[in-house]
Amino acid sequence: MYRKYFGTDGIRGRVGVPPITADFLLKLGWAAGRVFANEGNGFVLVGKDTRISGYMFESAIEAGLTAAGVDTRLLGPMPTPGIAYLTRTLRAQAGIVISASHNPYYDNGIKFFSVEGTKLPDEIEQKIEHYIDSPMTTVESAKLGKAKRVQDAAGRYIEFCKASVATRLDFSNMRIILDCAHGATYHIAPHVFSEVGAEVVTIGAEPDGLNINDECGATKPEKLAATVLAYRADLGIALDGDGDRLIMVDHKGEIVDGDELIYIIAKSRLEAGLMVGPVVGTLMTNLGMEHGLKKLGINLVRAKVGDRYVLEMLNENKGILGGENSGHIICLDKTTTGDGIIAALQVMAEMQSSGKNLYELKSGMQKYPQVLVNVKTHKKINFDADENIQKAIAGVEKKLGDTGRVLLRASGTEPLIRVMVEGQNEDAVNNFAQQLADDVKKVIGA
């Protein structure tokens, strides 16, 4: 279904560069308001992360909704999964998130949640786009929307997160280093983990509007790893700017990525008799995770890259667990979207129940070396139809056999072709990836 403005995860870009401008966000708020007003009565929740442009865009969206005659409830800084939860439990018509997730402060974006706490249906996004391209009008003064703040938003979400693990579990023997990426979880996550009993040392919880995701959080966990070793902590938890990604660090300072965390949660669910359906990964999910799950008797199915597609495939396959190696982890038996805090609690619960540390839990699967080479391109290529590329891929796949995998895909956000090779032998994987990248360059004339 063609969408002019909406991508796979809302609308995102550089602040001040269309469409991420104050005037466009005003129009977007009005357009969304028109659609929601036609769909029924009710209010719309608006939350944001901690980047400085959030103030400007919060005001613009609020003004647009007001002009369309829709009431607004402002949440202030709130993790994306928290906005999804509150949209559902407060019975809002929709939730609007102002965030560019793991991107730097100079980017921002907008995404929507439905009343069920899931992404908006494509047809609703298309209706919003129709109004964006229409002249903006204002309802008569008596019908203008009203705006007010939700005072207990943080407390509601904190209690929801804590309820995702059994109250009988005692985390008082755990020392945790928590990195909030100077993002939307800074006033939420420390309370969650300390209130379930853990000893918490918090870093990355002093947002100034410009430092979100800056050399910290789930995209840069090296500082967390060093802090875990310095404090001799049991584990480290790294969230990203909007709280929907999770990367962890074990007591040895080794980084534990999304694939390994999903494996741990899947094994825990299986042993508790709670595993339902396959695990859903993506085209980038490590082959070692697939083999590790297979040994447990759990199937892995692969979706396109993007949590939107993971969620769609989970629903199609009636599964409860999926995600990406980047740390997007969806536990549908606990919530409706990817949630870094809730995923971390599931891993901690397994540590307590099993008596094993994070290093021991991740050892059930062995990650294969995975090499990614980006090739700049000035034109689109149909990989399937190009005989030379297919011949090169087939040659590498034959040498790898069942112990490796090849993936070529075009980037959805940059003029790049991503060449990925994984297998058991790191030197061979490196050589194959560079060989394939050279073959692609020849075809595109680079």
Predicted pLDDT at 240 = 98
Q: What is the pLDDT of residue 23?
A: 97
Query: How high is the mean pLDDT in each 10-residue block of the chain (446 residues)?
Result: 80 96 98 92 95 98 98 98 97 97 96 93 92 96 97 97 96 97 98 98 98 98 98 98 98 98 98 97 94 97 91 96 97 97 98 97 94 86 81 91 89 79 93 92 78
Cβ neighbourhood burial of 237 (10 Å; 0-12, 13-18, 19+): buried
d(CA 86, CA 81): 9
29-77 pLDDT, tens digit per residue, is: 999 999 999 887 799 999 999 999 999 999 999 999 999 999 999 999 9
b/e 41-70 (16+ beta carbons within 10 angstroms → b): eebbbbbbbbbebbebbbbbbbbbbbbbbb
Are domains 171-255 and 370-444 of this chain identical in fold? no
Q: What angle do CA 73, 155, 84 make, to 5 degrees?
A: 55
In this structure, the chain runs to a length of: 446
Cβ(422)–Cβ(259) under 8 Å? no
Contact 256, 363 (CB under 8 A): no
From 390, 380, 387, 404, select the one nearest 436 (Cα to Cα): 390
Spatial neighbors of 305 by CB under 8 A, at least 6 apart, are 282, 283, 284, 324, 409, 412
What is the C-alpha to C-alpha distance for residues 278 and 288, in angstroms, rounded to an integer?
16
Q: Give how far Cα 265 sits from Cα of 153, 235, 242, Å.
A: 28, 16, 22
Q: Can you tell me the distance from the alpha carbon of 226 to that of 206, in angstroms, rounded to the nearest whole number?
A: 19
* Active site (catalytic) residues: 101
37 φ, ψ to 5°? -65, -35
Closest residue by Cα to residue 102 from 236, 216, 260: 216
Question: CA 108 from chain center: how many Å?
Answer: 15
DSSP state of 7: B
Superfamily name and number for 257-365: Alpha-D-Glucose-1,6-Bisphosphate, subunit A, domain 3 (3.40.120.10)
* CATH no. for 11-152: 3.40.120.10
CATH dotted code for 171-255? 3.40.120.10
Q: Which CATH class is domain 370-444?
A: alpha beta
DSSP state of 14: E
The rounded distance, in Å, linking the Cα atoms of 446 and 444 is 6
Question: How many CB atoms within 10 Å of residue 168?
Answer: 7
Q: In terms of Cα–Cα distance, which of 347, 324, 126, 141 is closest to 248? A: 347
Q: Which helix (H) or strand (E) holds 140?
A: none
Residue 127: both structure tokens together? 């209706």
Domains in the chain: boundaries: 11-152, 171-255, 257-365, 370-444
Which pair of structure tokens corresponds to residue 64? 């647009």
